[in-house]
Amino acid sequence: MAAQSASQYDDAYGSEGFYWGKKPSSLCDRVVELAGPGVEREPTLIDLGCGEGRDAVTFARNGFRVTAVDLSLPGLEKLARYAQEEGLHVDTAQADVREFQLEQSYAVVFSTGLVHYLLPATRLARFEHLKQHTTAAGIHAHSALVSKPFLPAAPDAGPDVVLFRSGELMGYFWDWEILYTAEDLFDCTSGGIPHRHAIDRIIARRYAGAGR
Ligand SMILES: C[S@@+](CC[C@H](N)C(=O)[O-])C[C@H]1O[C@@H](n2cnc3c(N)ncnc32)[C@H](O)[C@@H]1O
C-alpha cells in the first residue's frame, strides 16, 4: 500500500487527547459479538479509516488480528502508541482507500465514518474489490453518513465527503446476507460545534461457499 497525502484530521490527531474518544463505536461492539474469536481463532480484520484506533484497539483486545488503515500518519502513530500501552499489537498502513488494492482476504472488513469519502462514481467498484477480498462466510460492517433534507451540513465536514443516500449502502450488499441494517440520527460535537448527523449502518455476510 503506497503512502498518500494528508488527512483533514492530521492536526486533530497530532494534538493531545483522542478526537473521537477511546470508547468503541456501536458497530465495533456488534462485530465483536458476531465474529469474535469464539467463531474463528484470531480472525483477520481490516479497519479502513481507523483514525486514532478506538475500534482497532478494541478489536485487538478481543482477539482479532488487526490491520488498521488510514490516510493520516499522526492518527496511525497515535494508534500504534495506544495499542502498545495496552500491550496489544495492531499492524498499521498509511493508504488511500479510494484507490489502494488489497493483497489478501480478511474475515472482517470494517469501517466507521469512512465510506462517504469514496467518490460516488467509484463506490460500486471499490465495494466489489473489498467484497472480493473477504473470506468465505466473512463479514463486512460499515457506517455511512447520509444526506437528509432537514439536516444542515456538519460544520467540520471536509471537502472530500459526499454523503450517501438512504439505502445506498445496503444496495452494495444486495447479493450477501444482510445481518443488520439501521438508520439513526445522532448528536455530535466533533470540531467543538454541536450538530446532528444521519447515519446508515450495515453488517453483511458473504455466502459460505464463496471466497478464498
Ligand atoms: C470520521 S473519521 C472516523 C475515524 C474512526 N473510524 C473512528 O470512528 O474513530 C474518518 C477517518 O477516515 C480517514 N480517511 C478519510 N479519507 C480517507 C481515505 N481516502 N483513505 C483512508 N482514510 C481516509 C480520515 O483520516 C479519518 O481518520
Tens digit of each residue's pLDDT (9 = 90 or more) over 9-60: 999 999 999 999 999 999 999 999 998 777 667 899 999 999 999 999 999 9
pLDDT bin (cut points 50, 70, 90) of residue 7 is confident
Domain that holds residue 134: 10-205
CB 136 within 8 A of CB 192: no
The model's pTM: 0.94
User: Distance, CA 152 to ligand 1 centroid (Å)?
Assistant: 21
Ligand 1 neighbour 200 (Cβ under 6 A): no
User: Distance, CA 207 to ligand 1 centroid (Å)?
Assistant: 28
Decide which of 155 and 1 is more confident: 155
Query: What's the CA gap between 8 and 141, in Å, rounded?
Result: 24
Tens digit of each residue's pLDDT (9 = 90 or more) over 53-103: 999 999 999 999 999 999 999 999 999 999 999 999 999 999 999 999 999
Could you tell me the strand order of the sheet in which 195-205 lies?
91-94, 65-70, 44-48, 106-112, 134-146, 195-205, 177-188
- In a domain, residue 83? The reply is yes
Q: Which CATH number does the domain housing residue 105 bear?
A: 3.40.50.150
DSSP string over 46-75? EEET-TT-HHHHHHHHTT-EEEEEES-HHH
User: Distance, CA 49 to ligand 1 centroid (Å)?
Assistant: 3
User: Distance, CA 111 to ligand 1 centroid (Å)?
Assistant: 8
Query: Which of 5, 79, 114 has the most ligand 1 atoms within 8 A of CB, as the residue to mutate?
Result: 114
**Given the CA of residue 117, which atom of ligand 1 is nearest to it?**
16
| Domains held by the chain: number | 1
Average pLDDT over residues 174-179: 97
Q: What is the pLDDT of residue 143?
A: 98
- In a domain, residue 212? The reply is no
- In a domain, residue 211? The reply is no
